[in-house]
Structure 1
C-alpha cells in the first residue's frame, strides 16, 4: 500500500485506457448535459465541433475513472480530495477517441490538524489517441500517512 511517505514530487505516471463510445456520449449528455452538439449529429455538424462531441463533464468523468483505476491498481492509500482548483477542456473529445492520462505530484505536505493524512497537489492531463491533450486539471488529494506519530517536516 502506497502512503504519503512513498509519493515523490515530480515523478510522472502514465496510465489509463478509455474508449469513448457514441452510446455513452449520448447517454451521459442526455442525463447531465443535454446540449444539441452532445446529442444530435445534425445539430453538432452546424457547430464549431463539426460532429457529435462528448460533454466536457463527461471527459472529466472518464478521466476520473482512469485516475481511480490507477489508484486501485497501485494500492494507494487515498482518502479523497477537497476539490479541483483548475479544470480546462483543451480539445473536444469525440466518440471513437481513446483517452489516457499522465499525472505528476507538484507538491506535498502533512496536514497540521489531522496528523494521519497528507495533502498532495497534483496535475493530471488526459490525452487522446493522437497524444493531443484534451483536458488538464490541478487538484489536491488526501492520502494516509504511514506513521502519524512521525514529526512534521518544517
Structure 2
C-alpha cells in the first residue's frame, strides 16, 4: 500500500491496455450520450468525424477504470477532489486500444485534516499509435501513514 509519504513529485507511470469495441461504444452512447455520431454508423459517416466515435465521457470512464485497476488500488486513496483541464484531443474509434500515462505534478498536506494529503496528477489517455486522445489533471486525497508528523 502506498501512502501520501511514499508518493514523489515527478513520478511518471504508464499502464493499461483497454480494447474499445463498437458494441461498447453503442451501448454507452445509447444510455449516456445518444448523439448520432455515437449511436448510428450511417449518421456518424455523414458527421464531422466521418465514422462512429466513442463519447468523450465514455473515454473518461475507461480512463477511470484503468486508473482503478492499475494504480488506485495500490494507494491508500480516500477519494478525489476534482478534475481540471479536461480535453478530448482526438476521437476514439472501434478497435482502438487505450493506455494511460500519469505524472505526479504536486502534493501537499491537508490543512484541515492531518490524516490526508492531496496529490495532483496529469493524466493522458493514449491510443495504440501513442496519440493522446484525452488529457486532464486530477487531485486525489491520499491517507497519510503518519498524520502526527
TM-score, with structure 2 as normaliser: 0.98
**Match of residue 34 from structure 2:** 34
- In structure 2, the residue matched to 1:106 is 105
| Residue number in structure 1 paired with 2:89 | 90
Q: Which runs of 4+ in 1 moved over 2 A?
A: none
Asked if the contact 1:97/1:129 (under 8 Å) is kept, the reply is yes
Q: How does 1:1-154 map to 2 (within 5 A)?
A: 1-72=1-72, 75-150=74-149
Rounded Cα–Cα distance in structure 2 between residues aligned with 1:94 and 1:85: 24
| CA deviation profile, 1:90-140 (whole Å, cap 9, x unmatched) | 000001000000000100000011100000011100000000000001111
Q: CA deviation digits over 1:60-117, x for unaligned, max 9?
A: 00011001112255x2111110111221000000010000000001000000111000
Please report how far the alpha carbon of residue 27 of structure 1 lies from its aligned counterpart in structure 2 after TM superposition: 0.4
**Structure 1: gaps (5+ residues):** none
Q: Secondary structure at the match of 2:10?
A: coil
Structure 1 or 2: more strand by fraction:
2
User: Gaps spanning 5+ residues in structure 2: where?
Assistant: none
TM-score, length-scaled by structure 1? 0.94
The separation in 1 between residues aligned to 2:87 and 2:26, in whole angstroms, is 21
Worse overlay, 122-131 or 76-85: 76-85
- State the distance in 2 between where 1:140 and 1:127 align: 20
Please tell me the root mean square deviation across aligned C-alpha atoms, in Å.
0.9
